[in-house]
Structure 1
Amino acid sequence: MGTAAAITSSLMGWQRIRFEVTEDASPGADGSRHAYTPSLGAFTAVIGASGDILIPEDRLRSAMLMARQGRVVLEEELDRMLGKQWDAELESFRYAGEGAPVRWLHAAV
């Protein structure tokens, strides 16, 4: 298990937080991206050396077959494989710097 996967495994136990953990590719090994939101659950993808999400050929073939059978909409399935919903939910938390708007999070206990 890579470092990103170990961190993700620990953080998922909290279940009320949102997070994204990325492990860069290294010589001989692809990287990984893990994201979690309470409303969407977990997302994991393999990341290549250039930072792109790599989708295995068999997953693409399966998505195309399911779309032909009318079980899924191909574009929606590809968006899911790329983590589009997680990106949308996490985007507001990614930018930090002087003058950046602050989003305060509150928890009711």
Structure 2
Amino acid sequence: MTALPPPLSQPSHQHLKTGGYLFIHALPSTVTPHLRWAIESVVKNAVSLNWQEQAACPGHQRAELNWSGQQGTAAQLASALRVFDGIFFEVTERATLTTDAVRFMYTPSLGICAVGTDVLGNFTVTEDRVKYAFEQAEGSFEALYQEFSLMLGEPWDEQLEPLRAASSQSNITHINQKM
């Protein structure tokens, strides 16, 4: 007898797999081993990061990581890394059959920002978030502009952009999460 595929309401284990990138834009040099341990606790695999000086932030290091694992790993990484003082990072997760793609951005002064993305990497905004922006603006164009800026992560982009410049010359480490 041939086994039937799982129903769409119960995605197979394969459909739960995804991946993405972790961009550690800046981290104080003294805590790089601790950050590696935090990443390993999430991905359940040994990680070797190629640390480089962050020219835009003296005394800080930067690294990039290409990860693969279960859906939700990006959120777990963002939660695990945001506790490190002085860290600036982004983590992305590709869409699956049951989840949308997402990008998390973090800076010490702004905290965390999570924004959905489309297949081209453009930020997407939900209808509820747009309605919320109109409600918060209360008819003020300036307030509406500010709400749209927040929902698109513009304040985070402004702080991260100077740190991103170094990424074009870096090597990316590739890892796979143990299942």
Query: What band does the TM-score fall into relative to the shorter chain?
Result: 0.7 to 0.9
Instruction: Using the aligned pairs only, state the percent identity.
Output: 38
1:19 matches 2:76: no
Change (3 A) 1:66 1:97: closer
1:35 corresponds to: 105
Residue type of the alignment partner of 1:51: G
Q: What number of residue pairs does the alignment pair up?
A: 98
* Residue identity opposite 1:39 in structure 2: S
SS in structure 2 of the partner of residue 51 of structure 1: coil
Question: Where does residue 160 of structure 2 map in the other structure?
Answer: 90
Displacement of 1:64: 1.1
For structure 2, the residue ranges without an aligned partner over 5 or more in a row are 1-70, 170-179
Query: Which structure has more RCO (C-alpha within 8 Å, separation ≥ 6)?
Result: 2
| Larger of the two Rg values belongs to structure | 2
Shift >4 Å, 4+ stretches: none
* C-alpha distance after superposition, 1:18-54 (max 9, x if no partner): 1111112233421111111111111111122231212
Whether 1:48 aligns to 2:118 is: yes
The 10-residue stretch of structure 1 (57-66 or 23-32) with the greater mean CA deviation from structure 2? 23-32
Distance in 2, matches of 1:11 and 1:39, equals: 15
Greater fraction of residues in strand: 2
TM-score, normalization: structure 2? 0.49
RMSD: 2.1
Deviation at 1:14, TM superposition (A): 0.9
Specify every segment of 5 or more residues in structure 1 that has no aligned partner in the other structure, as ranges: 99-109
Aligned pair partner of 1:73 in 139, 143, 146: 143
Question: Residue 8 in 1 paired to residue 74 in 2?
Answer: no
Letter in 2 for 1:67: A
- Please give the TM-score of this superposition, normalised by the length of structure 1: 0.77
Inter-partner Cα distance in structure 2 for 1:82 and 1:21: 16
Q: Distance in 2 between matches of 1:90 and 1:36?
A: 9
